[in-house]
Amino acid sequence: MQQINILLASLPDGILLGFVYGLAAMGLTLIWGVMNVINLSHGPIIALGMFGTFFLFTRLNLNPYAGLIPVAIMGLLLGVLIYVIAVHRVINAPHLSSLLATFSVNMIIIGLGTAVLTTSPYNVDFSAGSFKLGSATLLGTRLIAALVAMLFTGGLYLFLYRTRPGKFIRAVANNRSAAELMGVPSTRILALSFGLGTMLAAVSGALIATFFPFNILSGGSYELKSFVIGVLGGLGNPIGALFGGLILGMIEGIIPAFLEQSWVPVIEFGLFVLILLVRPSGLFGAKK
Amino acid sequence: MAILEIKEVTSGYGDVQILWGSTLSLEKGKLTCLVGGNGVGKTTLLRTVMGLLRPWSGTILFEGRDVSKLPAYAKADMGLVLVPEGRQLFTDMSVYENLEMGATNQRARPNFAKNIERVYEMFPRLKERGGQKAGTLSGGEQQMLAVARGIMADPTVLIIDELSLGLAPVLVLQLFESLKLLREEGMTLLLVEQNVQLALAISDYGFVLAEGKTELEGPARQLIKNKHVRAAYLGL
């Protein structure tokens, strides 16, 4: 009975978090799907999103949700910059080159971030109230974060399927040289895709910052979760990422009812290995 | 008047040289074919002409302008369009979206409605299958879509690489008839084929490529009677 109470309290929370995990993973999986690059600077960009919210909130008194807009724009521009400087020159090279390139970006951001911001925890002192759902108490910030994550997912979907640049992204992902032959400037589209991927990472970080303390290293665990979710939902499949995020969120909501919290990563990564072994294309199918 | 002139072009992949001086020119409004055996560099020549590969030397003139160094996407804007070998469709996108992508370039956008009507008339199957993913079409339908996507680009010069590969003869003849129609409308066409007999039979003019070089050229009617061509390519 007590377990059920814990479950009822933690499951809704886990599901709400799952949406945000899904949003972060979508950024990783979008980049992989379009250009077959694993972005190892994903985590620090999530952390930069957190700091974006923090500084906009503490210095400019900007509401964290209004702050999402500048954070998203900065995330997009940062991604385009990273693509142009570090990724484009290795885009056709073997995977190791792009892994090393994005890993270098990762180290640069973490190094600079540690020097300037230290690694002591930061906290956005913001509350959006709380309310009761049965026996569970849900934080307003988490509920809004889940709604924003859904909004961004829907927006991404509409962008990819209903707009010209979105269709260009899908065409380049599907067959880059054919897209180029049709008149699509593929380099620009790749830069845009990378920027969108980092934008989603930054926005997820900005949302997480409204309810968890963080430092420049905090993105790392969400990056790892993004890998698990990417594999769960099918790498290169942004909608699969949202469902993968939900599954992971639910697992995190269920485990505390039965096991110590420290089992969470064991089970998550056990699942990761299991999926790779039995269904490497993910539960919802990978990009072919 | 030559609309596309390729002069002494050399190119290749990495250190491997494939083209050793290919020369070719297309007369406006004519159907020209480029024939040659497997592996002589036909597809490499097309990739170089389109800008997917850099020419190592030589020049490529389109409507009198040197386009040797332009990237592929800029060529589509000028009206130089390739239907690549192996179709290269956007297999995860719908048939209609593939046609939309064909009309990406600046020249084609305003003519979208006119062109889509034209391709639907030519290939009614594509209209029926508009919402279907291109990857789920049959081989013949995919080839139709590849040609239709090329037409959607509103080309002045349309280059088609291996139209007949892997298709039933009936379908090949049907596609060739569509090409004649395009020529009658004033489009300049270059057909690149391993099926030498078929290609020479419908073309106005032909080039024979061997070992990365232009070996022979002449009116298709004469090439088909040429002793060397008959012995080497037609097995006669």
Sign of CA dihedral B27, B28, B30, B33: positive
In terms of C-beta density within 10 A (0-12 exposed, 13-18 middle, 19 or more buried), how is residue A149 classed? buried
Instruction: Find the closest chain B residue to A188 by CA distance.
Output: B73
Domains and CATH numbers, chain A: 2-120+129-278 (1.10.3470)
Q: Domain map of chain B by residue range?
A: 1-79+157-164+190-236, 83-155
Buried b (16+ CB within 10 A) or exposed e, B201-224: ebbebbbbbbebbbbbbeebeebb
B-chain CB neighbours of A167 within 8 Å are 93, 97, 100-101
Q: Place A287 in a pLDDT band, splitting at 50, 70 and 90.
A: low
Is A179 within 8 Å of chain B by CB? yes
Q: What is the pLDDT of residue A46?
A: 98
- Tokens 């560099």 correspond to B41
CB-CB contact of A234 with A243 (8 Å):
no
Q: If you average pLDDT over every residue of chain B, what do you get?
A: 93
Q: What is the pLDDT of residue B154?
A: 95
Counted across chains A and B, CB pairs separated by less than 8 A come out at 73
Q: If you average pLDDT over every residue of chain A, what do you get?
A: 93
Interface touch A183/B76, C-beta < 8 Å: yes
Mean pLDDT of B113-128: 95
Domain B1-79+157-164+190-236 has CATH 3.40.50.300: yes
Q: Is the pLDDT of residue B136 over 60?
A: yes
Q: What is the pLDDT of residue A1?
A: 65
Indicate the pTM of the whole model.
Answer: 0.92
Summarised one tens digit per residue, pLDDT across range A28-68 is: 999 999 999 999 999 999 999 999 999 999 999 999 999 99
Q: What is the pLDDT of residue A286?
A: 66
CA–CA separation, B44 and B18 (whole Å) = 7
Summarised one tens digit per residue, pLDDT across range B142-196 is: 999 999 999 999 999 999 999 988 788 888 888 899 899 999 999 999 999 988 8
Interface touch B73/A183, C-beta < 8 Å: yes
A-chain CB neighbours of B135 within 8 Å are 288
Q: Is the pLDDT of residue B128 over 50?
A: yes
Interface touch A180/B52, C-beta < 8 Å: yes
Q: Going along chain A, which residue ranges are E strands? A: 130-133, 136-139
Interface touch A174/B93, C-beta < 8 Å: yes
Q: Is the pLDDT of residue B236 over 80?
A: no
Q: Is the pLDDT of residue A288 over 50?
A: no
Residue B104: which of A170, A173, A182 has the nearest Cβ?
A182
Q: What is the pLDDT of residue A197?
A: 97
Sign of CA dihedral B203, B207, B212, B215: positive
